[in-house]
Amino acid sequence: MFMLAGIVVLHITTVILLLVATIDNAWWVTGTASTDLWGRWELTSSDWHYYNLQNYPQDYLQSVQGTVVLACVFTILALFVFLAQLFTLPKGQRFIFTGILQLIACLCIMTAASVYTAKFHTNDDTKGGYGHSYILAWISFVLTLLLTVTYLILRKSE
Amino acid sequence: AGLILSRLSFGSSTETMLTVLVLASIVLLGIAPERSQAITIYTGWERHALVGSDVRLSCSFFSWRWISDDVTFSWTYRPDGSRDSISIFHYTGGEAYVDNKGPFRDRLEFVGNPGRRDGSILIKNLDFSDNGTFTCDAKNPPDIVGRPSSVRLLVFEKLPIQAGVITGAIIGVVLGLLVLIVVIYYLMRFLVARRVFSLNVSKHGKKKKEGSQQRQIKQTPPLPPTIVASDGQMPSYLPFKHPRGTSRCRPTSLLWTSWFLL
Q: What is the pLDDT of residues A42-63, one digit of tens each?
A: 998 888 999 888 888 888 999 9
Residue B154: inside a domain, yes or no?
yes
Which of B142, B158, B174 is the C-terminal boundary of a domain? B158
* Residue partners of B165: CB distance under 8 A and separation at least 6: A62
Residue B122: inside a domain, yes or no?
yes
Residue B81: inside a domain, yes or no?
yes
Domain identity same for B115 and B174: no
- Full domain range(s) for residue B48: 38-158
Rounded Cα gap, residues B108 and B89, in angstroms: 8
Residues B137/B122, Cβ–Cβ less than 8 Å:
no
Please report residues of A whose CB lies closer than 8 A to that of B172.
Answer: none
Domain identity same for B145 and B168: no
Q: Which of A59, A73, A92 sits opposite B166 (nearest CB)?
A: A59
DSSP state of B55: E
At B11, is the pLDDT very low, low, confident or very high (cuts 50, 70, 90)?
low
Residue B204: inside a domain, yes or no?
no
Q: Which of A65, A90, A92 sits opposite B167 (nearest CB)?
A: A65
Closest B-chain CA to A58 = B161
Q: Residues A1-19: what's their mean pLDDT?
A: 93
Please report residues of B whose CB lies closer than 8 A to that of A96.
Answer: 260
A59–chain B nearest CA distance, Å: 7
**Residue B227 confidence (pLDDT):** 43
Rounded Cα gap, residues B191 and B214, in angstroms: 21
C-alpha B134, offset from chain centre: 28
CATH number where B133 lies: 2.60.40.10
Report the residue of A40, A59, A93, A101 to disrupt the B interface, i.e. the one with the largest count of B CBs within 10 Å.
A93
A13–chain B nearest CA distance, Å: 23
Domain identity same for B73 and B96: yes
Q: CB–CB of B256 and A69 under 8 A?
A: no
Say what the ipTM of the complex is: 0.80
The reply to whether omega before B142 is within 30° of 0 (cis) is: yes
Please report residues of A whose CB lies closer than 8 A to that of B160.
Answer: 58
Chain B, 106-135: which have a CB under 8 Å from a chain A CB?
none
Domain identity same for B124 and B169: no
Q: How many C-alpha atoms does A19 have within 13 Å on its Cβ side? A: 9
For the ranges A38-47, A148-157, B30-39, the lowest mean pLDDT is seen at B30-39
Residue B48: inside a domain, yes or no?
yes
Q: CB–CB of A93 and B229 under 8 A?
A: no
Q: Where are the domains of chain A?
A: 2-27+58-123+131-153
Which of B143, B174, B189 is the C-terminal boundary of a domain? B189
DSSP state of B233: P
Q: Looking at the complex, does the CB of residue B234 fall below 8 Å from at least one CB of chain A?
A: no
pLDDT digits (tens, 9 = 90+) for A74-118: 999 999 999 999 998 888 888 999 999 999 999 999 999 999 999
Residue B223: inside a domain, yes or no?
no
Domain identity same for B101 and B113: yes
Q: CB–CB of B236 and A67 under 8 A?
A: no
Residues B208/B227, Cβ–Cβ less than 8 Å:
no
Using alpha carbons, select from B9, B183, B54, B256 the residue that is nearest to residue A91.
B256
**Residue B187 confidence (pLDDT):** 92
Rounded Cα gap, residues B75 and B118, in angstroms: 13
Domain identity same for B43 and B152: yes
Please report residues of A whose CB lies closer than 8 A to that of B251.
Answer: none
Domain identity same for B60 and B95: yes
Please report residues of B whose CB lies closer than 8 A to that of A65.
Answer: 164, 167
Domain identity same for B117 and B141: yes
* Residue partners of B132: CB distance under 8 A and separation at least 6: B77, B78, B79, B80, B82, B152, B153
**Residue A91 confidence (pLDDT):** 87
Q: What is the mean pLDDT of chain B?
A: 76
Domain identity same for B150 and B43: yes
**Residue B33 confidence (pLDDT):** 52
Residues B262/B207, Cβ–Cβ less than 8 Å:
no
Q: Residues B26-38: what's their mean pLDDT?
A: 63
Q: Looking at the complex, does the CB of residue B168 fall below 8 Å from at least one CB of chain A?
A: yes
A97–chain B nearest CA distance, Å: 10
**Residue A66 confidence (pLDDT):** 93
pLDDT digits (tens, 9 = 90+) for B87-126: 999 998 888 888 888 888 888 989 888 888 888 999 999 9
Rounded Cα gap, residues A106 and A103, in angstroms: 5
For the ranges A63-67, B53-57, B97-101, B227-231, the lowest mean pLDDT is seen at B227-231
Going from the C-alpha of B184 to that of each of A85, A95, B190, B207, the distances in angstroms are 19, 20, 10, 35
Instruction: Tell me, yes or no, if the pTM score tops 0.80.
Output: no
For the ranges A24-33, A78-87, B16-25, the lowest mean pLDDT is seen at B16-25
Domain identity same for B42 and B152: yes
Size of the A and B interface in Cβ pairs below 8 Å: 46
Residue B94: inside a domain, yes or no?
yes
Check pLDDT > 50 for residue B236. Answer: no
> Is pLDDT larger for residue B8 or for residue A13?
A13
Domain count, chain B: 2
Residue B207: inside a domain, yes or no?
no
Please report residues of B whose CB lies closer than 8 A to that of A69.
Answer: 167, 171
Rounded Cα gap, residues B226 and B162, in angstroms: 56
Please report residues of A whose CB lies closer than 8 A to that of B174.
Answer: 70
**Residue B20 confidence (pLDDT):** 86
Q: CB–CB of A93 and B256 under 8 A?
A: yes
The radius of gyration of chain B's CA atoms, rounded to the nearest angstrom, is 37
Strands (E), A58-134: 129-130
- Please count the other Cβ atoms lying within 10 Å of the Cβ belonging to residue A134: 22
